[in-house]
A and B are shown apart, each in its own frame.
Chain A
Amino acid sequence: MSMDRNRRRFIKSALAVSGLVMGSGCLSRSPKPEEWIEGGPDPDPAEGAKVVRTVCLGCHSACGLQVKVKDDVVIKIDGNPYHPNTREPHLPYQTDPKEAEKVNGTVCAKGGAMIQTLYNPYRVQHPLKRIGPRGSGKWKSITWDQAYDEIINGGNLFGEGHVDGLKAIRSFDPIDPDRPELGPKANQLVFMPGRIEHGRKEFTDRWMRDAYGTVNKRLDHTSICETSHHVGLALCFHKAHHTKPDIKHAEYIIFFGAAPYEANFPMQALARKLNFFREGGGTMVVVDPRFSNSAAKAARWIPILPGTDAAFAMGMMRWMIEHDRVDSRYLSYPNGTAGKAGDGHLTWSNATYLVRKDDGTFLREGKSPLVLERGKPISAEMAKEGDLLVDAVVNGIKVKSVYRMLVDRIMERSIKEYAVICGVEPKMIEKEADDFTSHGRRAVADFYRGSVQHTNGTYAARTLATLNFLIGNVSWKGGCEAHGGSHWHEMGGKPGNRYNLKKEFHPGKVKAEGVPIDRHKKHYEESADFKKNGYPAKRPWFPFAYDNVYQEVVPSIASQYPYPVKCLITYWNNVVYSSPAGGHRHCHGRNLCPGRLYPALPPFPGGLRDTPRGPYHPDKDERPETTGYGQAGLQGYQDAGRDLHRHGFQDEIAGVRQRRFGKGP
């Protein structure tokens, strides 16, 4: 009996102790991980390897890498612990670099798999030149010297007649003396990168524009990516066209058309920060038509109809206005001094500025916009607090405040009507509006390409950004960071920079001028063509474009409008995949694509892609006349290629490539 009792007591005590230990283990957070979690008990194969620090180009995030090299072979890719993308927090910059070698940051799966890219046997390491008729798929490796010689000097390179080289194309005589606005013949060189990173942009500009003299210096991809995002934000913020949420300090984040757990950039840093954010009790809401991985991890998912994000935001705004959940204090600051004196704000808004009803411009006194302060007009720069809801007559002119105009526009539809546009329940809009305004200024609305890749994208961007203004979180801790951070100053010239490449170190610099091939920021009405032919123009002009118009480049080259192009250089770019419609429509048949439209088309860097092969159609008779050089990476890693070449693998690779791709260009 007593034995039984003892046993029972023992079991009870054991259970209680186990429960206590397990419970305390779950509740308390270990101050630092155990040694074995970081080091691992097994010998590290990367032990003693040489550490090379570089930057990943697997995507636009540009994470710092700490690459382990043994016997001149890369054996592992880790994150550079100094880099903010790879650790939370990153190593202090004063840490000894040798000591830092013992610490690894993270890389994403793609970054870690860069070894496969590096040692991919299909990777093109040397210039390739087409040696057969177009469509024959016959290429051969040539030396760098030969490639440079032919690209620069031209000649009868393909047995198809003379092709001008870069030397001949670089002329400062006009392309057409009757149309001098087109600029010099040097413009007949077009440089068309797809994704191009900071540093490389400036580097290529320096050569293409400042040294060579072509106005077609960097017609990159942004117009098919997120220009509307930039434009929308640039219209909202002074000197900022990209914002990020302050994830670390926010309590609520609503993502519109952004999937930070699997896309966006820098995704590994965003995902990690969001994990901490959620772990700390933060509320993440994802507005996305698709149940993405990010949506699955969110506290709430709003399955909105595509392209209706602005309507959702306007519904939220209506609820906020009706329930007095707008930060009118912040909105009433008409200038920086007032904002700083009031709440210590770094920013302010023009919500109180007066807008003339007759022409839609700001009512001004001299150059200074006017606001009403307690009903009296005063310069916005002098006022301490402007009136928000103004609909009045000032100096005989009917005016409204910016905020009044916003409210009037918002009130045009009910929440139910906004919900119908979005294809969601009205209570979802109300719930998010309520939650968004329940955290003071530590809430933020963030968005990216999903919301802005529509014809209404710019206005969607403006509307979504306005949400942040309404709770006064702009550049506020835990809010919408609009003015912090930046990339490095590639051209120097800033305090602390050693060189100023803008002003120095460029003897013989030329000024590129004329009409770019895509006619961005140029008026047709100012051209000789207009004076001669009037409307319509042969192809559209884009006087209000924010930047270049990527999708217009290939059709313009194909149409030889406004002038024929003699050389197109692509870089990190596959035009056929990224802008197929324009290329296909305008280069599909010989009628639209007469003669040699791209006498030289040297793409670089990396693997053999479709663009140089002119894969517009399997029937070779319907392909554009293209000539191709493939060039090895500017990204380096030449050694492996050299070895392959030495062992005669290059021909084998060419054979495999031909089998893989079928009959070539």
Chain B
Amino acid sequence: MISYAIHSYYLFRPELIYRAREKGPLQRIYQLTVFNRMEEGDLGEIRSRQQGRERCWAGVSLAFSFLGLIYLGILLSSFKGRVMWHSSVMVFIFFGFGICSGSAFLILLTHLKNAFVHTPFKALTAQRRYLAEFGIILKYALLGQAAVFFIYFVLLQYTGIGGRLAAQVFFDGPRAFQFWLFQVIIGLALPFALMLFERLRESILISCVAALATMTGTLFGCMNLFIGGQLLPMTNFRWEQFIPEPGKITFGIVTMAVMFIAFLVTYKILPYENMES
């Protein structure tokens, strides 16, 4: 999160520097945000000078995200007593989740941002073309995730009764509805179908639906793993009870929504100007 915050700062820094030079009621605040370090030249020149740092922090953020996913997978797989988690595939599952939800997030956020903030036509066209191509990545990421899950379930079949019980949690056990509807149909099949053809990928609405479906599927995938892993019986063949706490769930969902909206709003309130303009 820190690296993302730093990246965001460098993303907006050229505009902040530019605004800090212009007289106005917020000039002092802009000057404060850039530590009073002014730069000469127009916005394009400033941006090109700042570009290296911004790209660097983007890379750092991405690297940390991947490491986090790997770490999460390793962490879960080290729980020997939880059969569903105690699998070497866990790393790849979270990696798959990360690539899918990351691609989907980028597509959804950019489209929403473009709807929310004015973007010049030329930039808009370029971005749409870019996002349509990004849909290809999403398509193959979904395929990859499905393949990883397939391998995971095959391995579970060979992990004794514990593995079979773990698979049963998904297939016809207590998480079956969430697995089949939200994770497989909405989270994998639907977005894959929507991203299959170029004409569909180019449609903003369809891209957004696919991205939203992917993110929903990933969310339910995580929940199925985290909750399902604790449902395996410990002393008999009855599933362990998991009593949902609506308050906490609502809080989690609302927090995520607020963060997403806040992220979107920053484009509106911060001195954002599209590079292509």
Q: Which residues of A contact B (CB under 8 A)?
A: 262, 278, 284, 289-291, 293, 295-301, 303, 423
| Assembly CA distance A290 to B81 (angstroms) | 11
| Assembly CA distance A293 to B83 (angstroms) | 8
Contacts of A293 in B (CB 8 A): 80-81
Contacts of A301 in B (CB 8 A): 161-162
Do A290 and B159 have beta carbons less than 8 Å apart? no
Do A284 and B162 have beta carbons less than 8 Å apart? no
With beta carbons under 8 angstroms apart, the residue of B83, B235, B236, B237 that contacts A296 is: B83
Q: How far is the CB of B77 from chain A (nearest CB, A)?
A: 14
Do B234 and A296 have beta carbons less than 8 Å apart? no
Contacts of A300 in B (CB 8 A): 161
With beta carbons under 8 angstroms apart, the residue of A262, A289, A295 that contacts B161 is: A295
**What number of B residues sit within 8 Å (CB to CB) of A?**
14
**Interface pairs (16), CB distance under 8 Å:** A284-B160, A290-B234, A290-B235, A291-B234, A291-B235, A296-B159, A296-B161, A297-B159, A297-B162, A298-B160, A298-B161, A299-B160, A301-B162, A303-B233, A303-B237, A423-B236
Do A296 and B233 have beta carbons less than 8 Å apart? no
Majority-rule SS of B interface residues:
loop
Question: Would you list the 8 A-B pairs with minimal beta carbon distance, nearest first?
Answer: A296-B162, A297-B160, A296-B83, A303-B236, A291-B234, A301-B161, A298-B160, A293-B80
Contacts of B162 in A (CB 8 A): 291, 295-298, 301
Q: How far is the CB of B153 from chain A (nearest CB, A)?
A: 16
Contacts of B161 in A (CB 8 A): 295-296, 298-301
A-contact 0/1 string along B150-194, CB 8 Å cutoff: 000000000111110000000000000000000000000000000
| Nearest B residue to A301, CB-CB | B161
Do B232 and A291 have beta carbons less than 8 Å apart? yes
Q: Which residues of B contact A (CB under 8 A)?
A: 80-81, 83, 159-163, 232-237
Q: How many Cβ-Cβ contacts under 8 Å join chain A to chain B?
A: 37
Q: How far is the CB of A440 from chain B (nearest CB, A)?
A: 24
Contacts of B232 in A (CB 8 A): 291
Contacts of B160 in A (CB 8 A): 278, 284, 296-299
| Nearest A residue to B81, CB-CB | A293
| Nearest A residue to B158, CB-CB | A278
| Assembly CA distance A298 to B237 (angstroms) | 15
Further contacts, 5 of them, CB under 8 A, given A291-B233, A295-B162? A278-B160, A296-B83, A301-B162, A303-B233, A303-B236
Q: How far is the CB of B2 from chain A (nearest CB, A)?
A: 33
Contacts of A299 in B (CB 8 A): 160-161
Q: How far is the CB of A286 from chain B (nearest CB, A)?
A: 8
| Assembly CA distance A284 to B232 (angstroms) | 20
Q: How far is the CB of A259 from chain B (nearest CB, A)?
A: 12
| Assembly CA distance A187 to B82 (angstroms) | 51
| Assembly CA distance A293 to B237 (angstroms) | 16
Contacts of B236 in A (CB 8 A): 303, 423
Contacts of A291 in B (CB 8 A): 162, 232-235
| Assembly CA distance A284 to B161 (angstroms) | 10
| Assembly CA distance A278 to B81 (angstroms) | 20
Q: How far is the CB of A644 from chain B (nearest CB, A)?
A: 33
Contacts of A298 in B (CB 8 A): 160-162
| Assembly CA distance A303 to B236 (angstroms) | 5
| Assembly CA distance A293 to B86 (angstroms) | 10
| Assembly CA distance A255 to B161 (angstroms) | 14
| Nearest B residue to A306, CB-CB | B235
| Nearest B residue to A289, CB-CB | B235
| Assembly CA distance A229 to B234 (angstroms) | 26
| Nearest A residue to B82, CB-CB | A296
| Assembly CA distance A300 to B233 (angstroms) | 13
| Assembly CA distance A300 to B160 (angstroms) | 7
Contacts of A278 in B (CB 8 A): 160
Do B235 and A303 have beta carbons less than 8 Å apart? yes
Contacts of B234 in A (CB 8 A): 290-291
Contacts of A423 in B (CB 8 A): 236
| Assembly CA distance A299 to B80 (angstroms) | 17
| Assembly CA distance A640 to B80 (angstroms) | 35
Contacts of A296 in B (CB 8 A): 83, 159-163
| Assembly CA distance A262 to B161 (angstroms) | 17
Q: How far is the CB of A282 from chain B (nearest CB, A)?
A: 12
| Assembly CA distance A297 to B234 (angstroms) | 14
| Assembly CA distance A290 to B161 (angstroms) | 13
Centre residue among B159, B162, B237 by max chain A CB count within 10 A: B162
Centre residue among B159, B160, B235 by max chain A CB count within 10 A: B160
Contacts of A303 in B (CB 8 A): 233, 235-237
Q: How far is the CB of A417 from chain B (nearest CB, A)?
A: 19
Q: How far is the CB of B78 from chain A (nearest CB, A)?
A: 12
Contacts of B235 in A (CB 8 A): 289-291, 303
| Nearest A residue to B163, CB-CB | A296
Contacts of B237 in A (CB 8 A): 303
Q: How far is the CB of A506 from chain B (nearest CB, A)?
A: 49
Q: How far is the CB of A55 from chain B (nearest CB, A)?
A: 27
Contacts of B163 in A (CB 8 A): 296
Contacts of A262 in B (CB 8 A): 80
| Nearest A residue to B83, CB-CB | A296
| Nearest B residue to A297, CB-CB | B160
Q: How far is the CB of A308 from chain B (nearest CB, A)?
A: 13
| Nearest B residue to A423, CB-CB | B236
| Nearest A residue to B80, CB-CB | A293
Contacts of B233 in A (CB 8 A): 291, 303
| Assembly CA distance A655 to B236 (angstroms) | 49
| Assembly CA distance A297 to B166 (angstroms) | 12
Q: How far is the CB of B159 from chain A (nearest CB, A)?
A: 7
Contacts of B159 in A (CB 8 A): 296-297
| Assembly CA distance A299 to B157 (angstroms) | 10
| Assembly CA distance A304 to B89 (angstroms) | 31
| Nearest B residue to A292, CB-CB | B81
Contacts of A297 in B (CB 8 A): 159-160, 162
| Assembly CA distance A291 to B233 (angstroms) | 7
| Assembly CA distance A290 to B159 (angstroms) | 17
Q: How far is the CB of A301 from chain B (nearest CB, A)?
A: 5
Contacts of B83 in A (CB 8 A): 296
| Assembly CA distance A245 to B161 (angstroms) | 21
Centre residue among A298, A299, A301 by max chain B CB count within 10 A: A301
| Assembly CA distance A298 to B161 (angstroms) | 6
Centre residue among A290, A291, A296, A298 by max chain B CB count within 10 A: A296
| Nearest B residue to A300, CB-CB | B161
| Assembly CA distance A423 to B236 (angstroms) | 9
| Assembly CA distance A300 to B165 (angstroms) | 11
Q: How far is the CB of A297 from chain B (nearest CB, A)?
A: 4
Q: How far is the CB of B15 from chain A (nearest CB, A)?
A: 47
| Assembly CA distance A557 to B264 (angstroms) | 77
| Assembly CA distance A298 to B165 (angstroms) | 11
| Assembly CA distance A627 to B134 (angstroms) | 76
Centre residue among A291, A297, A300, A301 by max chain B CB count within 10 A: A291
| Assembly CA distance A603 to B162 (angstroms) | 44
